[in-house]
Amino acid sequence: MPGFWLMKSEPDECSVDDLARAPGQCVPWVGVRNYQARNFMRDTMVVGDGVLFCHSSCAEPGIVGLAEVASAAYPDATQFDSTSPWFDAKAVRDKPRWMHVDVRLLRKSRLLSLREMRCRPELASMRVLQAGNRLSITPVAPDEWRAVLALLDR
């Protein structure tokens, strides 16, 4: 059974339009520096899992597209690049600290804002909507996934 995820990206880092323009509409999900989010990618995500692509840290945060996990987890090369904003001096090539997956766009969607999502009782349990949640990657329950798809198709 496929898993479902919400993955947040700041539009000035990688927007849904950037993803749409990328070769094969696929990008490596680089720069994750939270152990729980890394562990989701490394230990739980599988190719074909569904992704709600969410813009964050912008004027109107929310879901802007549907995507899928397009690779197994592999080392994030930015951890070794001293010129990268995601450089980690403690990372060692033969035992990398940070992993990522590739994400492939399935389709752009209308903006389903976090404000609109908070008004929907069927989405009340979504982790992204919980107070204090700051994770860039959160699991999405199958019923939440179906509810979001129904809202996007309106």
pLDDT in tens, 98-131: 999 999 999 999 999 999 999 999 999 999 999 8
Q: Are the CB atoms for 13 and 60 separated by under 8 Å?
A: no
User: What is the separation, in whole angstroms, between the first and last Cα of the chain?
Assistant: 26
d(CA 74, CA 95): 11
Report the pLDDT value the prediction gives residue 133, as an integer from 0 to 100: 83
One-letter amino acid at 109 equals: S
Scanning the structure block, which residue is given the tokens 């509810």?
Answer: 147
Tens-digit pLDDT profile for residues 5-53: 999 999 999 999 999 999 999 999 999 999 999 999 999 999 999 999 9
| CATH, domain range 4-152 | 3.10.590.10
Scanning the structure block, which residue is given the tokens 């090369």?
Answer: 77
d(CA 125, CA 97): 31
> Residue 145 in 3-state DSSP?
helix
d(CA 78, CA 87): 6
pTM of the model: 0.94
Residue with the larger pLDDT of the pair 75 and 135: 75
